[in-house]
Amino acid sequence: EPEVTQTPSHQVTQMGQEVILRCVPISNHLYFYWYRQILGQKVEFLVSFYNNEISEKSEIFDDQFSVERPDGSNFTLKIRSTKLEDSAMYFCASSGDSRNQPQHFGDGTRLSIL
């Protein structure tokens, strides 16, 4: 079964540095998402992306965050000038040809900010 893949599985970064988290969504999916899960807390929506632009974003997704689909397969989340509170699991998800299709999640990237 096709799956969403995320790299790296664990990223350790110094506070203030930029980090890019990478995702390869399922190939025929059109909707892409990033979520965050701070340790011990619930999964929180960050942003959704469709037709090469952001379709929805939460208030967490401020100016330090950006997303990009640089080619036909990758979907990236960039965090500029990371803060300690950015430490979390970041999940990428994708869904099919409409927003009500089930979202399939990757295994996540654990981001640790030192």
Partner 1 sequence: AQSVTQPDIHITVSEGASLELRCNYSYGATPYLFWYVQSPGQGLQLLLKYFSGDTLVQGIKGFEAEFKRSQSSFNLRKPSVHWSDAAEYFCAVLPSSGNTPLVFGKGTRLSVIA
Q: Which positions touch partner 1 (CB under 8 A)? A: 4, 6, 33, 41-45, 48, 55-56, 58, 91, 93, 99-100, 102-108
Please, what is the minimum distance in Å from the beta carbon of residue 100 to partner 1?
A: 5
Please, what is the minimum distance in Å from the beta carbon of residue 16 to partner 1?
A: 28
Which residue number, 29 or 104, has a Cβ lying nearer to partner 1? 104
Please, what is the minimum distance in Å from the beta carbon of residue 87 to partner 1?
A: 16
Which residue number, 14 or 32, has a Cβ lying nearer to partner 1? 32
Which residue number, 14 or 39, has a Cβ lying nearer to partner 1? 39
CA dihedral 47, 48, 54, 58 (to 10 degrees): -30
Q: Classify residue 85 by burial, with Cβ atoms within 10 Å: 0-12, 13-18, 19+.
A: exposed
DSSP of 38-87: -TTS-EEEEEEEETTEEEEE-TT--TTEEEE--SSS-EEEEESS--GGG-
Please, what is the minimum distance in Å from the beta carbon of residue 89 to partner 1?
A: 9
